[in-house]
A and B are shown apart, each in its own frame.
Chain A
Amino acid sequence: MDKKVSILIVDDEESVRDSLYNWFIDDGYIVECAENAKKALSILEKKDFDIILADIKMPGMDGMEMHRRIKTLNKEPIFIIMTAFASVDTAVQALKDGAYDYITKPFDPDDLSHLIRNAAAQVSLKVENENLRNKITSLTDIEDLIGESDAMMKVLKEVESVAQSNSSVIITGESGTGKELIARAIHSNSSRKYFPLISVHCGALTESLLESELFGHEKGAFTGATFNRKGRFEMADGGTIFLDEIATISSKMQIELLRVLESKTFVRVGGNKEVSSDFRVICATNRDLKTMVKSGTFREDLYYRLNVVNIVIPPLRERVEDIPLLANHFIKKYCTSMSRNLIFIEPSAMKQLEEFEFPGNVRELENMIERAIVIGNGKDIRLKDLPMGKEVINSSIESLDDLESKHIAMILNKYSWNISRTAKALNVDRATLYNKIKKYKLIQE
């Protein structure tokens, strides 16, 4: 049900207050009255009203002064001035001070009805706008951006400080570290958050496709261009454009991009009209752009244009302390999306996760947890539900000697230290096996 609009009537004349009170009560509004500005201000300190209808001339504090005081209370009701003397000066001053409108006494019933109806519509628009903004804020909450490690806290601090500026940002990090999430976090914490965040995966498009994708095209620009199409730069007007895998773009596109970044104007493919767009650029790459600049594969001027701020996301193996947090977060996320009861992870399985290198970073961890929930017993995640238990070499093994030693010990134990059977299984002669046992100082337990 819609919230009832509330009105505060402020007038020193009782008959005016009563008449307005009765009129608005009949219309179903919530109405209160105050006989002077002082009383009104004390009511407003305790209560909020959507609309205030105040007489301009009152003993003590007048309506205009009361309006100024209300503003200092950080309240923003719709303020309507009532006056018995229609003067342009008063009206102009009232409107200049931010009053919604003014009305001359006595009012035509229809004028009063219209005025209040319009003001009430404005109130509901304001409420609706507020609700939508809250909805957007909750939609853009970066839920997956999890981490309490020093490395991650540093990244989040950088995100916070860079978000409010308009500077270009390059996000670097290995694949799967969450570069797009960081871009989303910057966008959602910036003043551009109510405008779009447009993502372009540069690596997935050929040069000509990327050109048409970024700049848009006019009808007939090329075969298949059967209608005009806005480019991503145009779509990002007011918001942010996120160019993923920026290192993969061709030299020609690098020049084009530099020109657009400098002028914020461009021409659609096949068109001749300049289009301007106000966007912020965030790029991401898993390659070292500096090295590419040195080797001449990436333009230096573009590099400096883009690299105003560089955020480096550490790989997961460098923030091991975040693994339990992330694992539990993904468990919650997938249990909820699969409508399952929340499950837990066995300590041995968690230990295994913490010891794993995660070459695919957070994305790999997320996939692992999702898989474990799907194939698991529905109660907890066990070691055997994790793929690395079977397929991955223990991360404590670094050298080939370590590997050989562990493997020989395992086969010896399997055959209860029967040298002949072990040698046969390892496909070496007995002398070699004895030498290896000696070399690795293997002892029967």
Chain B
Amino acid sequence: MSCAHIEKDTARFIAEDIMREFNYPVLFKECSVDLSVFYNPGRRQYDANRILKQVSELSSPNSVKIMGLFSVDLFIPILTYIFGQAILNGNTGIASLYRLRNELYGLEQDTALLIERFRKVIIHELGHTFGLIHCPNPICIMRSSTYVEDIDQKKIHFCHHCQTELNGRRKEEENH
């Protein structure tokens, strides 16, 4: 589900990425959620924990995983910001475009790069929902990223180890 006003082409790219990496059909749905209730005026950011909970409540029995896409600045109480968040071994994740924009760091706007970063964050968070933890491989999609440069460094694929782990986890989930 998206509240980020994502263009059709971008949505198609994201769906293709998810299909390729997880081999599940993707349903893309535009939603309008009132985010003002999650706004923290002190931090001038949005509470990711509460948004995650809200998204989780929107999941339907037919969906395997649900991913909320936003364009607002997300935070969790202990961190100054986050790119995205997911419940490990859960069925929900969220990701935001906000901190991925070049302009935020005084650089020139780069839409292609922004979309690529966003796709990586989405796949990364979905990986967590399948039980994958952070990977030490510097180019694996599951590598922890605290800066956008870290995201740029990694590829949009799982490394061999994470792929094997993911296949195992998927089998487990399907058996359940």
Contact = CB atoms under 8 A, between A and B. Distances in A.
Interface of A: 13, 15-16, 18-20, 22-23, 25-28, 82, 105-110, 112-113
Nearest to A9: B78
A20 B76 CA distance: 9
Contacts of B146: 108-110, 113
B79 A22 contact: no
B77 A110 contact: no
Nearest to B52: A22
B133 A109 contact: no
A115 to B, nearest CB: 12
A107 B128 CA distance: 22
Given A19-B76, A26-B144, 15 more contacts: A15-B49, A19-B49, A19-B77, A26-B88, A26-B134, A27-B144, A105-B77, A105-B78, A106-B75, A106-B78, A107-B80, A108-B146, A109-B146, A113-B144, A113-B146
A106 B88 contact: no
A112 B77 contact: no
B80 A16 contact: no
A107 B144 contact: no
A22 B94 CA distance: 14
Interface of B: 43, 49, 75-82, 85, 87-88, 128, 133-134, 144, 146-147
- For the complex, would chain A's binding face be called helix, strand, loop or mixed by DSSP majority? helix
Contacts of A112: 78-79
- A-B complex: 7 closest residue pairs judged by Cβ atoms: A110-B146, A109-B146, A19-B76, A28-B133, A15-B77, A19-B78, A27-B134
Nearest to B127: A26
A433 B55 CA distance: 120
Contacts of A105: 77-78
Contacts of B80: 106-109
5 contacts: A22-B85, A23-B76, A26-B88, A82-B78, A112-B78
Contacts of A82: 78
A16 B133 contact: no
B77 A28 contact: no
